[in-house]
Structures are given as C-alpha cells and as structure tokens.
Structure 1
C-alpha cells in the first residue's frame, strides 16, 4: 500500500495537473451546475481576499527596500535612464498594437440588425438609466476634468493609511518611493536596522503567500466557476467578433514578450517553466498584484536575476507599465468607432494611442468597472459615446479580464529582462533562494 507523506500531499496540491483539474471543474460548474456556485464562489472570494491582504505589504516593503538600497549603492544608478525609456516605449507599442489589430480585425464593423438588437437588449437588461445603443445617434460629450488633475488626485495620498485601506496601489507606490528615498538618504546607523526590519516583514508576507499556493486549486475552482457563470451565451453571440479579436491581441502580445525573454535569457522554454505559477495566478485570479510574489520568486530564483533589483523593478513595472489595459483601451476605441461608423484619420489614431497610454496608467490598482470606466479618457476626445457601450465591456470582462492581467504580468517580466543585463540560463549555478529561507 502506497503511503503518502505530508510532503507528497503538498506536492500533489501544487502539481500542474491538480490545478488543471480544478480549472476544468470550475468551468463545468460555471456552465452547467449553477446550483453549486453558492458553495464554491465564497471559497474563491476568500482565497483572493487573503491573497490581496498580503500584496500591499509586499509592495511597500519591496519598493521601499529597493529604492533605499538603490540610493545607498550609487553604482546602480546607470540603468535608471534606460528603465524610463523602455517603460515609455512599452506602453506606446501596446497602444500602437491595439490600433493595428483593430484596423485589421475590424471588430466593430459589419453588425447586422439582429446583432444590433441583441446588443441593445443587453444594455436595456442592465437596468442602467439613460442607456441606449444605436449606430446612428450622435453623441455629445460632457465636460470632463483634465487628465492631469485626475492623475495627480490618484497619485498623491492625503493619508497613507486611507490609501492602504482602500487598496490604492498607485498612491501606495508613490509613498513607498518617497519613503525609500528618505531611508536611503539617511546616513544614520539606525537605517541598517530599519532595512533589516523591512526585509523581515517582506519575508513574513512572502511566506504567507507561499502557504496560500497550496490552496490554489480550491481558490481557482471557486473564482473560475463564479466568473464563467456570469457570462451568458447571448453576450458571446452579440460580441462574437470583439471577444476573439481581443484575445488574439493579448496572445500576440504574449508571443512578443516571450520572444523578448528568449532573446534576453538564451532559452525559449525555461522562461515558460519559470513563470508557470505566475501565468496560472494571472488567469485564475485576474489580479496583477496577486501575481507579484510568484513573479518575484520566478525572476530571482528560477531566472537568476538579482533579488534587490527585481524587488524594485517588478512592482514598478506592474504598476506603471499597464500594457494590457493600454492595448485593450486602444482596441475598444476602434470597436466603438467602427460600430458607430466614425471614420478616423491619422490624428484620430494618434489620439487613441496617446490617450490609451494615459488611461492605462490611471488603471493602476483599479479593476472591474472602475478600470473599464477609464475608457472614457480615450472615447471622449474622439467624441464617441461612453455610457452606451460601457455595459457591453462590463458584461464580457469576466472573459477578457484575466488575459488583460496576463498581458500586464508577462510583458512586465519581458520589460525587466530588457532593462537588466542578459542572462544565460544554462550557466546558472545553484544558490540559496527565498524558498529555502521560507521552508527553513
């Protein structure tokens, strides 16, 4: 008789096949066994809430530690300019990619009367006031606040504890950067003890996330079952063109970032394996910050990048380089323009790219309806309706959202690989890792 040890059981829980089975069961329940949703959905919500509980402490400690050490180690200042250039290029290329795919794929063109009626019924069934959808009704945009004012309001916290409580990651990031600069600029001996304390806090929360990974199959089952149950067949039929084109856009972005990782590491398959847990977390949770711990571990332990540098660049890239939302907003704007038969010239396409970059940046820490509402930053300058189409994007977001998060996370890894010196994975030697510390 085969006896399973505690270690064997834990290995089974983290096995890829266990995760895959949980995903399949979640999809099955979401599609055919809605009566079980009430039992499994709370499990997924609890799992995600506990995971999110650990994220902001990891974000604060990782960024503050890294900034402080960056200031103290002046020899690391050389790549900051390169980092800023690559950050800007990455989001601009994402917006450009969204526009190109929208022009080629034409997701909003060719709808017949039946499809228009189906889309209109979705809006009416949302019970939102004053929502009508028509390809022929002109839209007059209301006066909006300037992007600069909105961005500054979302960047600078009046109270850091309120920002932590609200989960405002952009405000928390701003605080962590300033705090790290202040700590690194201090020459007192006490700075060393503060850095040691922050590092201990970081390792403690990282260990909690390490424990949570054993419950990943259960968490994914509940999350996926709930999300799948919210997407009706009628919505998929009405948005039959947009959904596959959007998924294809994210797939192209994934391939491009994979090619970059190949070029920077010398291996095509090892980065796939190293980021396996990160990809699963992205698709399962639909939350980019929930992927932060696994990404830090993968980039440091499995791909061999320096821990202090990774602790700085990965959270910064997650928060600032919003490549997934940028691409999605650009593609969504093309969909709306084509749906309303609005012809765009070169200046219109440039407007979409630039405004998508700013709208993507404004989504840091946002998700769901809040994230999608940033689409108004792209549509309003083009005099396109926002309220009349926002419901459509909200309804399909359980499908699109996880792939948008995957685009953020995987592209962030490629961006970090571009910033840092090339790795040669076959030359890596075994060394003590964070996991060893956590298990010790």
Structure 2
C-alpha cells in the first residue's frame, strides 16, 4: 500500500490549514484574479470527498450492526445503545433549538446585514423568487410530513440511490442490510463482513489521503464562496457563529459532567481524552480521531478492546451529535431570517427533523453534509438552497466543534453503555484515600 512521505506531514499541520484559509479569504475578498487557479482545487477536493461518502456510509453501518448482532449479549447491548443514542440525539437537537430560540442569532440584524443577506439569497435563488426579509415568510400549502418522509425513505433501487446520492435511502438500506447480515449463518456473514471491511478501509484511506490536500481545498472553497458573496455576509453571520460555539461548549460540559458522574472521577476522563479531542479540533475530521479514541477507551479507560472496536465506529457513524445540534440551531436561524412564527409545532418539527437530518449525515462531512438541512427546512417550507451559502461561509470555523462533539459524545456513550471495566487502569477511576 502506498505511503505518504514523511516530508509531506506538514501539509496536515494546523498552521498549514490556517494559512490556506487565510489565503482563500484574501483571494475571495481582495484579489479575485487568482480565483481561476484556486477554485478548481476546491471543487476537486469536494468532489472526491463526496465520491467517498455513500460507500463509507453503506459499509460502515451494515458492518457495525451485523457484527453487533453476532455477539452473545447483542440484544441487551443493542437495546441499551439505541436508548442512549436516541436520548443523546434528542438532547442535542433540543439544546440547539433552545439556544437558537433564546439567543435569536437571526433576529434584530441591522439594515445593511439584511440587505446583504437578501441580495445573496436572491442571487442564488430562482429568477422568480422575491425575497423580502422585512415581512413574514409564507410557507407553501401544508403536507403530510410522515407520508412524505416514508415515501422518501425506501429506495426502489439501491444502485440508483447510490448513483444519485440519496443519503437517507442509502441509510435505510444500510440499517436493514446490517440486520440481515447479523441474522444469516456465520460463514456467509463473515464473508460479507470481510468484503465490506475492505471497501470501508479503502475509501477511508482515500479520505485520509485527501487530508493532505485539505489546505488547498479549503483555500479554493473559501475563495470561490467569498468571491460570490463578499464580506458583508461574514459580518451578518458574526452573531450566529458565537451562539453555535457556545452551544457546543455547553453540550461538551453537560456530557463531561455525566461521564464523570458515571465513572466517579472528575479528572481522568479529561486527561484520557485530551489526544482525540485535540485531533478532532485540529483536523475537523471524525475518522482522523478514530485510532486515538480507540486507544484511549481501551488503554486509558480499561474497556474491553472488542467492545470498544465495535461501539466507537458505530457511534461515530450513527450517533451524529454535532450535526444534530448544529442543524437545529441553523434551522432556528433561517426561521428568524424569514420571520416565521415559532409555534410549539414548529419547534417540535425543528427538534425531530434535526434528529433525522443529523442521523442522515452518517458517512458525510464538511460542506456536503450541510445539504441534509433540507430534511428540516422542507417540512417548514423554508427555501434552504437560498441561504445554504451562508452556512458554507462559516463552516470552516464551526466544523472543528461539530467534529469534537461527535468524538467526545461517542467516547462518553461507551462509558454509559458498557459495564465499568473490571481490571485496573493506569489512572484509577475512583480516588483512593
């Protein structure tokens, strides 16, 4: 297998990524003559990542569920895991919606910011779309959300769903196929798992290679985006970004407190998870944090290696805490931009829709992940395509916190689902006197 020369490791440095972002911002805002050079790099980077999303989604989820069902205690573990997953996702979406409702990042914007956002939305929308941010937005005729969701859930042809990028359909197929793998005889299941593991590893390796191109891709994406919208939108989103970061920090503190309460120790979890947290913030890539998270949960916390190797990848792919929280807050921002009345029904659609949309991001990351916001905005009749570019602009700032929420929550979920480790660790769980 080809290896990246060691002298190219500097491309993955946080300083290199930061420098690439600065160059992209400068080209996009002040020196667009270089746009024709850097913009194709960004599009190429995004296309390659998008190419890998659905194969990783299909194989990772099917493989994890299939292996889970083969374990002796799979029924108990699956039930406990499902309850914890649902509780975490519901808590994250509720926290995001509440943060949006309390801090109202899309309300009380100054006139210049409203004009800038309105012009951006109009430029990126259909020609017959009239945008007026000073009057309430009128949603299209109400439709059955449940009926629309069920019709969009089952793929009539899985290969067609894969080729057209229907993530929700592929997610449903992967879940169902994973249960089928766990139900068939052991020999056939092992063959399928081995094949899926090879496909998963190959596409994951491609993603890891692409991390060396991340500074160039980020530069091109930022330059291309900023050249179209200008710096006014960045000013308008200044109120949104701090609220998002504050919400993620609040979630981190809540999860950390519950994990410490479970383990009866207030220092060790922070020390043990320092490395995976640093990697997640520095790379903004979930899979890049996987090896460190597996090592920490086994060697530092002392959990069984087989259980950790199964639960951490499964949680990374299915319990998408970061996107769920972010989608809820972003939807509240769009609701406030269009002056939609926030009724209890609208609030519940945001909470439940964000839960579904966050789950549907399994296997995806970065800018392409943001398109899943349509699962929340669609039932509310909000034209997401028009304002999606606003979230693309600030995504390089928010993505590291979103990834950190996934990684930290996954490690915490393992401590809540599995029994406390029986053998001693390097650092004791309970302080001795």
Q: Please say if 1:15 is aligned against 2:1.
A: no
Compared with structure 1, are the counterparts of its residues 404 and 231 closer, same or farther at alpha carbon in structure 2 (3 Å cutoff)?
same
Which one of 391, 399, 405 corresponds to residue 397 of structure 1?
A: 391
- Alpha-carbon offset, residue 315 of structure 1: 1.0
- Alpha-carbon offset, residue 351 of structure 1: 3.7
Compared with structure 1, are the counterparts of its residues 180 and 106 closer, same or farther at alpha carbon in structure 2 (3 Å cutoff)?
closer
Q: Deviations over 1:141-166 (max 9, x none)?
A: 33233221222233211111111112
Which one of 188, 191, 199 corresponds to residue 190 of structure 1?
A: 188
Corresponding position of 1:131 = 130
Matches within 5 A, 1:17-416: 17-111=15-109, 120-126=118-124, 128=126, 129-136=128-135, 140-187=138-185, 189-237=187-235, 241-242=239-240, 244-246=242-244, 248-250=246-248, 252-253=250-251, 256=254, 266-268=268-270, 271-282=273-284, 291-301=285-295, 303-304=297-298, 306-318=308-320, 322-337=324-339, 342=341, 348-349=343-344, 351-362=346-357, 364-365=360-361, 367=368, 370-377=371-378, 379=380, 386-387=382-383, 391=386, 393-402=387-396, 405-406=399-400, 408-416=402-410
Compared with structure 1, are the counterparts of its residues 144 and 237 closer, same or farther at alpha carbon in structure 2 (3 Å cutoff)?
same
- Alpha-carbon offset, residue 39 of structure 1: 0.8
Compared with structure 1, are the counterparts of its residues 60 and 331 closer, same or farther at alpha carbon in structure 2 (3 Å cutoff)?
same
Output the TM-score relative to the length of structure 1.
0.75
8 Å CA contact 2:326–2:402 kept in 1: the answer is: yes
Compared with structure 1, are the counterparts of its residues 311 and 293 closer, same or farther at alpha carbon in structure 2 (3 Å cutoff)?
same
**SS of aligned partner of 2:132:** coil
Compared with structure 1, are the counterparts of its residues 26 and 428 closer, same or farther at alpha carbon in structure 2 (3 Å cutoff)?
farther
Compared with structure 1, are the counterparts of its residues 239 and 326 closer, same or farther at alpha carbon in structure 2 (3 Å cutoff)?
closer
Corresponding position of 1:437 = none
Q: Deviations over 1:212-250 (max 9, x none)?
A: 333333333323333333332333455664455445445
8 Å CA contact 2:109–2:236 kept in 1: the answer is: no
Alignment RMSD, CA only?
A: 3.7
**SS of aligned partner of 1:420:** helix
CA distance in 2, matches of 1:353, 1:13: 43
The range that moved more, 53-62 or 299-308, is: 299-308
- Alpha-carbon offset, residue 68 of structure 1: 1.5
8 Å CA contact 1:56–1:169 kept in 2: the answer is: yes
CA distance in 1, matches of 2:260, 2:228: 37
Corresponding position of 2:430 = none
- Alpha-carbon offset, residue 352 of structure 1: 0.8
CA distance in 2, matches of 1:279, 1:271: 12
8 Å CA contact 1:368–1:394 kept in 2: the answer is: no
- Alpha-carbon offset, residue 182 of structure 1: 1.8
Compared with structure 1, are the counterparts of its residues 295 and 178 closer, same or farther at alpha carbon in structure 2 (3 Å cutoff)?
farther
CA distance in 1, matches of 2:107, 2:178: 50
- Alpha-carbon offset, residue 394 of structure 1: 3.1
CA distance in 1, matches of 2:29, 2:13: 25
Unaligned runs of 5+ in 2: 299-304, 428-433
Unaligned runs of 5+ in 1: 1-5, 283-290, 381-385, 430-440
- Alpha-carbon offset, residue 30 of structure 1: 2.5
Corresponding position of 1:3 = none
Output the TM-score relative to the length of structure 2.
0.76
8 Å CA contact 2:357–2:376 kept in 1: the answer is: no
Corresponding position of 2:301 = none
CA distance in 2, matches of 1:92, 1:75: 26
